[in-house]
């Protein structure tokens, strides 16, 4: 019996997993507070949690503008195709349906049309720690999306 090798094509990924980096129309909490219901722009985001059996997901944004607060995880240029240093903002969270109308195709998809790839286990653990601190300190904002 043959065993799978890394050179054989892998089946497409069917659903999101924590750590997946996606293209998403992320609505910042300050935009929602002004009454906006649509995001100003699409951006890369990280899936941090599957909810309701994967019917909904929690995502956090990636930005190239370094946040002034401590609830961030640094990413170097070249990571997952990023062209410049960037940060995962762990205190801004969107909760959305999966797949929802705010999901966008990745410009260079890996495994699924919506996926750029995934954070390393080390980065995902760092993000989980920072996100946990943001939630415990009540420093995180959750913005529900439909």
Nearest residue to 53 (alpha-carbon basis) of 5, 98, 10, 106: 98
Structural domain includes residue 14:
no
Site of tokens 């913005």: 143
Residue 51 sits in which domain range? 20-144
3-state secondary structure of 47: strand
Structural domain includes residue 77:
yes
Q: What is the CATH number of the domain that holds 51?
A: 2.30.30.110
Tally of domains within the chain: 1
137: left (phi over 0), alpha (psi -120 to 50) or beta: alpha
Structural domain includes residue 7:
no
Structural domain includes residue 8:
no
CB 140 within 8 A of CB 59: no
pTM: 0.90
pLDDT for 6 equals: 45
Structural domain includes residue 60:
yes
Structural domain includes residue 13:
no
3-state secondary structure of 125: helix
Cα gap 133→122, rounded to integer Å:
17
Structural domain includes residue 10:
no
Structural domain includes residue 51:
yes
CB 23 within 8 A of CB 103: yes
Element (H, E) at 106: none
pLDDT for 14 equals: 78
> What does each of the 146 residues of the chain score in pLDDT, given as a tens digit?
444 444 556 566 679 999 999 999 999 999 999 999 999 999 999 999 999 999 999 999 999 999 999 999 999 999 999 999 999 999 999 999 999 999 999 999 999 999 999 999 999 999 999 999 999 999 999 999 97
């Amino acid at each position: 019996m043959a065993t799978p090798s890394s050179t054989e094509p892998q089946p497409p990924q069917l659903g999101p997993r924590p750590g997946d980096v996606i293209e998403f129309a992320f609505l910042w909490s300050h935009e929602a507070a002004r009454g906006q219901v649509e995001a100003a722009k699409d951006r890369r985001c990280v899936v941090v949690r599957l909810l309701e059996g994967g019917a909904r997901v929690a995502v956090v944004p990636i930005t190239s503008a370094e946040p002034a607060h401590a609830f961030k995880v640094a990413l170097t240029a070249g990571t997952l195709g990023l062209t410049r240093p960037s940060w995962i903002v762990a205190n801004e969270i969107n909760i959305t349906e999966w797949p929802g109308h705010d999901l966008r195709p990745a410009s260079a998809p890996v495994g699924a049309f919506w996926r750029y790839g995934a954070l390393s286990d080390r980065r995902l653990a760092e993000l989980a720690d920072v996100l946990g601190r943001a939630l415990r300190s009540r420093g995180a904002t959750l913005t529900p999306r439909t």
